[in-house]
Amino acid sequence: MTHNVTDAAVGTLEGSGFVPLPGLVPAAGLARLRRAAGVLRERAAHLESSAGDFVLEAAGVGGWVAWQRGDPQVAGLLRSVSRAHHHAPDLALLQAELDLPEGLVPRLVGAPGVLVNSFLWAKPPRLGSEKPWHQDLAFAPDGFDTAAHSVVTVWVAVEAATEANGALQFIPGSHRHGLFEHRGVRERQPGRPPLADAVEPHVDPAEVLPAPAPVSVPLSPGSAVAFDGMMLHRSAPNSTASEPRTAISFVYRVPRPAWSHPDRRR
């Protein structure tokens, strides 16, 4: 598959830290993404609470915090799934067929990517919770060499992402300021007791940047946004009554770009 990514788009990723990719996934691929999302929802339908890679949504504090605290969640209502390509294997095939790691990623950063994770991101109407400001590289697995590598995320809208239902927001240029300290708690390991004071890891942009100016990136189904692993980003709650916001993201390990400074942890 040929990706018509312009030099200007490549420059946008380097300069701003993110780049919208309109119409990245054609209709047939979008249909497969929707089927994969359906498979993941079916696998979660019997769950009463979050388990393993599957996080259910919760009113008020949101699914992740409720899971960590041991609070009630909405049975069967997904908020997110990590390692999505393991639970819905067609996702692994599709991202390869779309030539994301060998075509799109090297066009953006100059080297191929290695798929290290994928996620289903679900924001159901009315209950879909906020994802606070964070950098993806802050959640790299143990042993990930941030001196040599970073990550690039390709986030694909399966349903329309709007400002009302929780489109991604970015702070342009924040990827050039290094890896910030994230306040909060790390995800508790299986078998460990609930954390009564759990707070989702996050960054307060006003504390680390002189004049943060967030921008929202609405996307139509099949369109995507690619962004650097140091990019500060978030998504607001879904405030709509009937518009789910569903996305699937692919996270690729790449050689550390020249503009990235992982040693500047603040």
pLDDT reported for residue 261: 58
Q: What is the DSSP string of 23-89?
A: T-S-HHHHHHHHHHHHHHHHHHTT-SS-BTTEEE--SSS-HHHHHHHT----TT-EEEEESHHHHST
Cβ-based neighbours of 82, under 8 Å, separated by 6 or more: 53, 117, 118, 119
| Model confidence at 87: pLDDT above 60 | yes
What are the structural domains, with CATH classification, of the chain? 7-26+80-187+194-255 (2.60.120.620)
| Of the listed ranges 3-7, 22-26, 204-208, 244-248, the one predicted with least confidence | 3-7
For 98, which DSSP code? T
Q: Which of 31-45, 53-67, 167-181 has the highest mean pLDDT?
A: 31-45
**What mean pLDDT is predicted for residues 45-57?**
95
As beta bridge partners, residue 250 has 118, 154
pLDDT, residue 3, reads 75
Determine the pLDDT at residue 4. 75
Give the tokens for residue 247.
């996305």
> Is pLDDT above 50 for 266?
no
- Please choose, from the candidates 80, 75, 162, 154, the residue with its C-alpha nearest in 3D space to the C-alpha of residue 113: 154
**Does pTM surpass 0.85?**
yes
Residue 64 CB coordination number (10 Å)? 24
Cα–Cα distance between 161 and 167 in angstroms, integer? 5
Buried b or exposed e, range 178-193, using 16+ CB within 10 angstroms: bbbebebeebeeeeee
What pLDDT sits at residue 147? 86
Residue 115's contacts (CB-CB under 8 Å, 6 or more residues apart) are 85, 92, 95, 101, 250, 251, 252
Is residue 200 within 8 A of residue 62, CB to CB? The reply is yes
* Confidence band, pLDDT 50/70/90 cuts, at residue 235: very high
Query: At residue 223, does pLDDT exceed 90?
Result: yes
The mean-pLDDT minimum among 32-41, 104-113, 201-210, 235-244 falls in 201-210
- Percent over 70 (pLDDT), the chain: 96
At residue 2, the pLDDT reads: 66
Residue count of the chain, please give it: 266
CA distance 28 to 74: 32
Closest CA to 136 of 25, 12, 20, 249: 249
The pLDDT value given to residue 185: 78
Q: What is the pLDDT of residue 265?
A: 45
Q: Where are the alpha helices (DSSP H) in the chain?
A: 7-16, 27-44, 63-69, 84-87, 90-97, 105-109, 205-208
pLDDT at 187 over 80: no
> Can you give the pLDDT at residue 53?
95
H/E stretch holding 154: strand 149-157
Choice between 213 and 245, residue whose per-residue pLDDT is larger: 245
